[in-house]
Amino acid sequence: MGDDLEEITKVKQFLDNQFKIKDLGNLRYFLGFEVARSKEGLVLSQRKYALDLIEEAGLLASQPVSTPMVPGTKFPALTDQPFSDISGYRRLIGRLLYLTNTMPDLSFAVSTLSQFLSTPMKEHHEAAMRILRYLKQQPGQGLFFSADSSHKLTGFCDSDWASCVDTRKSVIGYNLFYGSSLVSWKSKKQSTISRSSSEAEYRAMATTVCEIQWLLYLLEDLQQPIQKPVGIVL
């Protein structure tokens, strides 16, 4: 990437001399990602990928739902109803994980269900089907990157203390914005048990700070000025 068209052309010519590449112009579709450009900015989505996923599951005629997971749902690791198609469940969760690249709202639900890949239960599979029904509502939903975004990083983080019914570990989550554009997000169960809600919040903040520091190094390499200090909202 760069802002010097002459230098970019030289790099393309060098690559063509070495590997015989073909310049296809502005990116529009790549590995399931669809890119739409306008004067306002850039939209990144996976509409066709999501629709193919819904069709393969046989849910094109199903009733859509408004949330990817029923609020407050707690999944135990084991119940008395194991799911027989373990490989099918793993394949579905893997494809949903890829979809979180443009749909951050799926991150918590998919991260939760990915914890049961070794021994999935029927209720885990039913929850995965609910995510597909949620996708049916807006399969083309994606990320918008504004063309006039400000050079400011802002972080939001939170934790759900001791939410895992089996391990009592907490779940953390964060969103990082570059101006008005969402550029990084995560939902993950903590690796250790927090002994208080305050400790869980501090761990969530520490994880967010690590990601912010990595983004600052990246933006520095890209020679992008950043307003400091970076704000974090708990």
Q: What value, to the nearest 5°, has the Cα angle with vertex 186 and ends 174 and 179?
A: 55
- Examine residue 162 and state whether it is found in any structural domain, yes or no: yes
Residues 106 and 131 in one domain: yes
CB of 109 closer than 8 Å to CB of 115: no
> How many folded domains does the chain comprise?
2
Model pLDDT for residues 87-102, shown as the tens digit of each residue:
999 999 999 999 999 9
- Strands of the 29-30 sheet, one edge to the other: 29-30, 33-37, 41-45, 143-146
- Domain boundary among the residues 112, 135, 158 is at 135
Model pLDDT for residues 117-128, shown as the tens digit of each residue:
988 999 999 999
pLDDT at position 101, please? 93
Model pLDDT for residues 160-188, shown as the tens digit of each residue:
888 877 788 899 999 999 988 999 999 98
| CB contact set of 208 (below 8 Å; sequence gap of 6+) | 155, 157, 174, 176, 232
CA dist., res. 156 & res. 234, Å (int)? 6
Decide if pLDDT at 36 tops 80: yes
Give the domain extent around 122. Answer: 45-135
Residue type for position 18:
Q
CATH code, domain with 174? 3.30.420.10
- Domain boundary among the residues 108, 135, 162 is at 135
pLDDT at position 165, please? 77
CB of 179 closer than 8 Å to CB of 150: yes
- Mean pLDDT, the chain, rounded, equals 89
pLDDT at position 24, please? 82
pLDDT at position 109, please? 92
Q: Is the pTM of this model over 0.75?
A: yes
